[in-house]
Amino acid sequence: MIKNRIILNLGLLALLLASCQSTPTQDVSVQFTAAFETAVAQISQPTTTVAPIDTPVPTATIVRTPPALPQIFQTTILKPEDLPRTYEADTCNYLQNKWNPNNAAPGTVVMVIMFHGISKETPDNVNGISVNDFKKLTNDLFSMGFQAINMQQMADFMYSNAKIPPRSVLLIVDDRHFAEYFNDHFRPLYEQWGWPVVNAYIGLDERTDLWAENAALSAEGWVDYQGHGYIHNTPIGNSSTDEFITAEMNGAITSLQKYMNKTPIAYIWPGGGFSARAVELGTQLGYKLGFTVNPRGPVMYNWIPQADTVSQSNTFAIPETPAGNPLMTLPRYWAPSARNDLDNVRQIGEQATLYAEQNKTTELEYYEIVCAPTYGAIPTLP
C-alpha cells in the first residue's frame, strides 16, 4: 500500500510538472530527479510516518497562474519627457484587439502632420512650408512606404486597432482655404496615391463662396473636414468658461452639419489650447479624437506620447496628462520640420513590432488564462 501511495504521488507530481510548459526541459528533469530521489529516500526510511490509507487522494486541480504582462513599449528615440501612455483600461479587450490577425499589425504607426500655408516662395512664418519642401516631404513619405488615412480610419485604429497601413500618415491642414489650395497641393496626392487630407475647418464664416467651394470638395470625399472652433481665435485654456468651450466645440459641429452634411469626430484645438474641462465637454459632444500642436512623436494603438509638465525642450507645448484623456490630446508634427522625423517614426514602428513579437507568447498565454473564458478565443482570419 505504501508503495502504491508513493507512485500515486509521483504521478501527481509528474502531471503538475508537465503542465508547467514554460519551464525549460532541463530544469524539469533536474527537479523530477530530485523529487524522485526524495521519494525513494522516504520509502527506504522505516521511521517515516505514513498517512492513514483511507484518506482520499484529492483530485489534481491544475490552477494556471497568468504570467506578468510586459511593460508598455519604450523608446529612446523620443525625448524622456514625452512618455508614451496607454488609454485602454480593459486589458483583455486590448490584447484581443492587438493580436486579432484581422486588425492592424502590432507596431503599426501613425505620423500626424500639421499644415498651414504652402507658398511658392520661402514661407515668412514658422508654420508655413514652401511648395518645394511640401513636394519633398510628401515624396519622401511615399517612398518610405507611408500611406495617408482619413479621420474615421484614425479613430477606428486608435479605438479598436482596426487595420490601416503599417506606416500611416494623417495630413491635417489647419484653418480655411479656398479650393485652389487643395487642388494645387493635395489633389495630385489623391490622384496618384489615393491619399485623403483632413481640413480643420473654422465654423464661423460669412463668405458663402468659400463654404460652397469647400462643401464641393467635401462631397468628393477626399478632403475630410473636421472641427476647429467656431470663432477660433481665442485658444481654450483653464480659465475658459463652459459657455465659451461649448460655443466653440459645438459651433464647429453645427456648421459642418449645416454646410457639409457631416458630423465631425475630431477636434483640432485652435491655437493648440485645451483643458481638462474642454476634453470632458468635447467627448460629451461626440468628439472621438483631439489634436494638439505638440510634436511629441508618432502614435500607435494604446500608445500616445504625452508630457506631465512643461519642459525646457518644448516650452510652448501644454502638458497633456493633466487633461486626462490621451485620445483627445494627440500630438502633431509640424510640416516644416516633419522630414527630419520620418526615419525616427519608421524606427519606432520597427522597434515596437519587435517588442510585440518578443512578448507575443506571454500576452497570448495571459489572454488564454484570464480573458478567453469570458471574451472568447482571439478571432482568426476568415
Q: How far is the CB of 128 from Zn ion (least distance, A)?
A: 13
**Residue span binding Zn ion (CB under 5 A) among the ranges 168-176, 245-253, 331-339, 347-355:** 168-176
Q: How far is the CB of 175 from Zn ion (least distance, A)?
A: 4
- Comparing CB distances to Zn ion, the nearer of 137 and 293 is 293
Contacts of 97 (CB under 8 A, 6+ apart): 88, 103, 160, 161, 301
- The interface with Zn ion within residues 39-98 (CB under 5 A) comprises none
- Comparing CB distances to Zn ion, the nearer of 174 and 248 is 174
Residue 43 CB-density burial (10 A; 0-12 exposed, 13-18 middle, 19+ buried): exposed
Q: Residue 241 has which C-alpha cell? A: 468658461
- Comparing CB distances to Zn ion, the nearer of 92 and 210 is 210
Contact 353, 85 (CB under 8 A): no
- Comparing CB distances to Zn ion, the nearer of 175 and 368 is 175
Q: How far is the CB of 374 from Zn ion (least distance, A)?
A: 45
Contact status: 205 vs Zn ion (CB under 5 A):
no
- The interface with Zn ion within residues 173-202 (CB under 5 A) comprises 174-175
**Residue span binding Zn ion (CB under 5 A) among the ranges 154-162, 170-178, 214-222, 276-284:** 170-178
- Comparing CB distances to Zn ion, the nearer of 175 and 280 is 175
- Comparing CB distances to Zn ion, the nearer of 170 and 371 is 170
Q: How far is the CB of 234 from Zn ion (least distance, A)?
A: 11
**Residue span binding Zn ion (CB under 5 A) among the ranges 171-179, 303-311, 342-350, 374-382:** 171-179
Q: How many residues bind Zn ion (CB under 5 A)?
A: 3
- Comparing CB distances to Zn ion, the nearer of 270 and 273 is 270
- Comparing CB distances to Zn ion, the nearer of 104 and 293 is 293
Q: How far is the CB of 116 from Zn ion (least distance, A)?
A: 8
**Helix 25-44 to helix 2-19 angle, to the nearest 10 degrees?**
170
Q: How far is the CB of 165 from Zn ion (least distance, A)?
A: 28
Q: How far is the CB of 176 from Zn ion (least distance, A)?
A: 9
User: How many CB atoms sit inside 10 A of residue 85's CB?
Assistant: 16
- The interface with Zn ion within residues 255-284 (CB under 5 A) comprises 270
- Comparing CB distances to Zn ion, the nearer of 114 and 300 is 114
- Comparing CB distances to Zn ion, the nearer of 133 and 248 is 248
| Per-residue binder mask for Zn ion (CB under 5 A), 102-141, x = binder | ----------------------------------------
Closest CA to 146 of 154, 158, 137: 137
Contact 157, 149 (CB under 8 A): yes
Contact 307, 83 (CB under 8 A): yes
Q: Which residues bind Zn ion (CB under 5 A)?
A: 174-175, 270
